[in-house]
A and B are shown apart, each in its own frame.
Chain A
Amino acid sequence: MHIEVPARRKHAIGLTPLIDVVFILLIFFMLATSLVDWRGIGLATGSTPAKPGQTPPAVIRLAEDGGLYLNGERMRLTVLAERLRARLSSGEISAAILRPDAPVTLGPAVRTLDALAGAGVQNLSLGESAEAS
């Protein structure tokens, strides 16, 4: 008669508790980590008032409907970016400050800043609302 001898257990320690712990760690990291691609825009927290000798910054107004005004003149973003770039390189202005109107939320304001930065305008910052000044 052939009697099957049970094979010796290979693992001295059971794998099940290990798997439990690994699963718990996996679920923890899945829930606690974020895979968001974060970006940052540098914003100056304010500017000292320009002294008579200094080059002034250009002030761009952002209206609630998304319109952009430079010196009271409404213009498209591409035109505005081109003018700002030309003035910045000629040294006529030192920086460009975006002043959103009171109802404008951060989303459109940041989108405008981003689009201007993408069009090559440097020294951008966010300024006090038009009506507040």
Chain B
Amino acid sequence: MIVAPPKRPDRSEDNILPLINIVFLLLIFFMLAGSLNTRPPFAVSPPETANARDAQPQPATLFVAADGRLAFGSESIHVDDLPDVLAQRDKTQPLQVKADTALPARELTRLLSDLRAVGVPEVRLLTVHTP
């Protein structure tokens, strides 16, 4: 009768230590390299530029969809709500606007004049860098 030799205790914990190291490194990379942004309730694909300056997206961003819908942060708003919504923002920095590339430029200029009426002298239009 052949008796199977007693198995060595499985030291699986030693074998997965390199894996855990890699996972920790990946975790730290994503925590440091990425930025957590607020997401608008609709899809926005921003226009592309090659010469614009660096910008750090803030949570208080005005989003404009391709059909002109607005959102501030992650909440949908209406043009009439702009004065109330923008009253709480940090006025030391220009308002960031993330508009869809398919939005008619005329809609944006109309929005800009609405913003001027609300007391926003300058906005920063966010774009994606293309080399």
Chain A complexes with chain B: yes
Binding site for B on A (CB under 8 A): 4, 6-7, 10-11, 14-15, 18-19, 22-23, 25-26, 29-30, 32-46, 62, 100, 102-111, 113-115, 117-118, 126-129, 132
A102/B106 contact (C-beta < 8 A), A38-B57, A45-B121, A46-B116 known: yes
On B, residues with C-beta under 8 Å from A are: 6, 9, 13, 16, 20, 23-24, 26-27, 30-31, 33-37, 47-57, 94, 96-97, 99-106, 108-110, 112-113, 115-116, 120-129
For B110, the chain A residues whose CB sits under 8 A away are 128
Q: A45-B116, A106-B102 are in contact. Are A126 and B23 (CB under 8 A)?
A: no
Number of A-B contacts (CB under 8 A): 165
Are A45's CB and B123's CB within 8 A? yes
| B109 surroundings in chain A (CB, below 8 A) | 126-129, 132
If A43-B112, A126-B108 touch, whether A19 touches B30 (CB-CB below 8 Å) is no
Partner of B16, one of A19, A26, A41, A111: A19
From B33, B105, B128, A38 is in contact (CB under 8 Å) with B128
> Could you tell me if A129 and B105 are in contact, using CB atoms closer than 8 angstroms?
yes
Contact A41–B50 (Cβ < 8 Å): no
A-side contacts of B57, CB under 8 Å: 38
Q: A105-B102, A128-B109, A128-B113 are in contact. Are A118 and B50 (CB under 8 A)?
A: yes
Chain B residues lying within 8 Å of A41, measured Cβ to Cβ, are 49, 52-53, 124-125, 127
Report yes or no: A19 in contact with B102, Cβ–Cβ below 8 A. Answer: no
Q: How far is the CB of A110 from chain B (nearest CB, A)?
A: 4
State the main secondary structure of chain B at its contact with A: mixed
C-alpha gap A54/B55 in the complex (Å)? 32
**Known contacts A41-B49, A43-B125, A46-B116; A105 and B20 CB within 8 A of each other:** no
Write the chain B residue with the least CB distance to A3: B6
**Which secondary structure characterizes the binding site on chain A?**
mixed
Q: Nearest residue in A to B49 (C-beta to C-beta)? A: A114
With A and B bound together, what is the CA distance between A30 and B33 in angstroms? 10
Q: Are A22 and B101 in contact (CB-based, < 8 A)? A: no
Other-chain contact of B53, A40, A102, A103 (Cβ < 8 Å): A40
Query: Which of A4, A33, A38: most chain B Cβ within 10 A?
Result: A38
| Interchain CA distance A44-B56 in the complex, whole Å | 19
Asked if B20 and A15 sit within 8 Å, CB to CB, the answer is: yes
